[in-house]
């Protein structure tokens, strides 16, 4: 006959069969600790952080940065870089709009140039992030540090 030295579980909790792994459940309402991100996921999310700005403007990088900033130093860095660049692009668009009103349309000639430059830099940034390289936009105002 084998002797069982295990203490019985507290009253109201089911008894675990021997040899079975015991898992502790996270209390409801408690946040789970932030999980790290694999290098493969970092590459993909870094790419999406830069490319999302093409369709979503500064909202895309903002969403990715807020979700991944505490999970990965790489994604925190690239999210801030992409967000800062797209804030700068938005400021330039507002400035060109004001210039268009003041000069009766001259500013509108520069909109396509800014859009093309931003598009090229965002694609280059996405490709660099996909290679797991820290990308720095050539023209950037780093508001968020």
Alpha carbons 75 and 66: distance in angstroms, whole number: 10
Structural contact between residues 65 and 57, judged by C-beta atoms closer than 8 angstroms: no
Predicted confidence band of residue 141 (pLDDT cuts 50, 70, 90): confident
Give pLDDT, residue 29: 47
pLDDT at 9 over 70: no
Cα 20 from Cα 51, distance rounded (Å): 46
pLDDT at 18: 60
Total-model pTM: 0.72
Radius of gyration over every alpha carbon of the chain, rounded to an integer in angstroms: 25
Judge contact between 64 and 79, C-beta under 8 A. Answer: yes
- Percentage of the chain beyond pLDDT 70 is 76
User: In angstroms, rounded to a whole number, what is the distance separating the alpha carbons of residues 22 and 109?
Assistant: 67
Distance CA 133, CA 119 (A): 19
| pLDDT greater than 80 at residue 139 | yes
| Cβ neighbour number for residue 4 with a 10 Å cutoff | 8
């Amino acid at each position: 006959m084998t002797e069982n030295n295990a203490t019985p579980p507290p009253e109201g909790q089911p008894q675990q069969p021997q040899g079975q792994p015991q898992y502790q459940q996270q209390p409801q309402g408690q946040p789970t600790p932030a999980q790290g991100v694999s290098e493969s996921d970092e590459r993909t999310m870094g790419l999406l952080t830069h490319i999302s700005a093409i369709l979503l403007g500064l909202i895309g990088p903002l969403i990715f940065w807020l979700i991944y900033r505490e999970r990965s130093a790489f994604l925190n860095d690239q999210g801030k870089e992409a967000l800062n660049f797209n804030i700068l692009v938005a400021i330039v668009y507002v400035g060109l709009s004001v210039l268009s009103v003041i000069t009766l349309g001259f500013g509108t000639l520069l909109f396509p140039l800014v859009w093309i430059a931003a598009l090229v830099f965002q694609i280059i940034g996405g490709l660099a992030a996909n290679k797991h390289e820290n990308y720095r936009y050539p023209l950037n105002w780093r508001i968020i540090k």
